[in-house]
């Protein structure tokens, strides 16, 4: 069931395809703020007084995941995200 993808095939196929970056800092900031507001409403109801701790724990997890993705994107410069990295 596991299917391995050869990285050389992916890099060769993707070398001619250059995606245009269309999201800027403002767009990404608004997406992040919208996500935090929605998460804050749900977390306030379920976490109660431990909401600060739950947000700190979630921030730590998101930061570590972000570092992993940044390392993968520098090693494998191809579009496809987690599908390509698996």
pLDDT per residue as tens digits for the range 41-68: 887 788 778 888 888 898 899 899 989 9
Identify the weakest region by mean pLDDT among 24-33, 35-44, 50-59, 65-74. 35-44
Q: Is residue 6 part of a domain?
A: no
Rounded Cα distance between 31 and 22, Å, is: 14
Q: Is residue 37 part of a domain?
A: yes
Q: Is residue 17 part of a domain?
A: no
More confident residue, 52 or 1: 52
Q: Is residue 41 part of a domain?
A: yes
Segments forming the whole domain that contains residue 40: 22-85
For the entire predicted model, the pTM comes to 0.58
Q: How many helices (H) and strands (E) does the chain have?
A: 4, 0
The total of structural domains in the chain comes to 1
Q: Is residue 26 part of a domain?
A: yes
Q: What is the model's pLDDT at position 30?
A: 92
Q: Is residue 16 part of a domain?
A: no
Q: Is residue 15 part of a domain?
A: no
Q: Is residue 60 part of a domain?
A: yes
Q: Which of 32, 3, 19 is nearest to 73 (CA)?
A: 19
């Amino acid at each position: 069931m596991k299917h391995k993808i050869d990285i050389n095939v992916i890099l060769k196929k993707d070398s001619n395809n250059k995606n245009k970056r269309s999201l800027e800092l403002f767009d990404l900031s608004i997406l992040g703020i919208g996500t935090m507001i929605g998460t804050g409403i749900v977390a306030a109801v379920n976490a109660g007084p431990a909401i600060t701790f739950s947000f700190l724990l979630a921030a730590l997890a998101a930061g570590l995941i972000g570092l992993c993705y940044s390392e993968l994107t520098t090693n494998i410069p191809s579009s496809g995200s987690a599908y390509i990295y698996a």
